[in-house]
Amino acid sequence: MIRGSFAARATRRVRVRRGRRAGGQRAAPPASHAVRPSRALTAALAGCPERRRPLILDSRMDCVVTGGAGFIGSNLVDVLVARGDRVAVIDNLSSGKLQNLAGALAAGAELHQIDTRDAAGVLEIFERVRPELVFHLAAQIDVRISVERPGFDAEVNILGAINVLEAARTVGARKIVNTSTGGGLYGDADVMPTPEGYPIRSLAPYGQSKLAAEGYCDLYTRVHGLQTVSLRYGNVYGPRQDVHGEAGVVAIFCGCLLEGRAPRIYGDGGQTRDWVDVSDVVAANLLAADHDITGPVNIGHGQETSVLDLIEALRDVGERRGLELPQPAFEPERLGEVRRSCLDVSRARSEMRWSATVSLSDGLRRILSEVV
């Protein structure tokens, strides 16, 4: 994930590179350092035969994951390493955390602390790794920052994406799975759930920059034959999301529950979101990489849940663990935020055989079980 100042051009390898086999191939990680996906992710992937297949491959693949130290990226890295892939992570650690990659690094993954805006540095890593698959998750994700600093938001989300696409094209990567946004693109849509073909009505520079990145993905597919797919996420939550972070209201509210603080609601709490567990999002990434699908694909639960309903669900889960969530404090609504958001996931279901399997209550219980 990327926020803050521009990282140094030189690539800093946080972990010593693994040994090489004859012919320049990187050696497989030692069996003693195997990474096991979480139980929820294993269950999500085992929901149908189509989901089990991506975990077991005939041969290992070389993969690059940008933003791989973030909460979504690191969960994805764990599964890629667990299934035997050779994984290189690109992350400037401005918001991603080294501790999120502890297991993956011990099992042989590599971390390159670099900013995706550094085109030369990104290309150097791609030329060494020569990935078959690229998962592009590095981004500026804060809507408020995009409103306050739209130029910075564009640099990270547009120029960063271009650098990754160009590096992938140069080394002959097979496919890029690009992370995009659903609610950030559709704005206050009149159609619920909202399909991919709905007119784009971004209410903040964040959505506009992600749309531009999608456009460059489509361009590289048309002009260069580089296969790309853009996954438009709903509101992702789950383990490793920072409870003190600026993004992720589920994580923030869980932090309030654990610390006995009143959650802050901006607006009246009637605004809705389509919350989806990170394990379901990881499963979507694996399936998108394994299928020929291209273009935008919505990834959500397909259900509207209000912020007030989220608080009630969290309060119910907390009470079962002896935790009490104080009544919320209401603040003025914020510029650029969508009133209603819910994604039509028909394309993901029909073409990728994907659907969300983790309910909101189960997801909340899983978050709390890891910290209580």
The residues that are catalytic are: 206
By DSSP bridging, strand 133-136 and strand 62-66 are parallel
Cα–Cα distance, 197 to 214 (Å, whole number): 14
By DSSP bridging, strand 275-277 and strand 272-273 are unpaired
Cα–Cα distance, 90 to 113 (Å, whole number): 6
What are the backbone angles phi and psi of residue 230, rounded to the nearest 5°? -115, 115
CB atoms within 10 A of CB 157: 27
Token pair recorded at residue 142: 């804060």
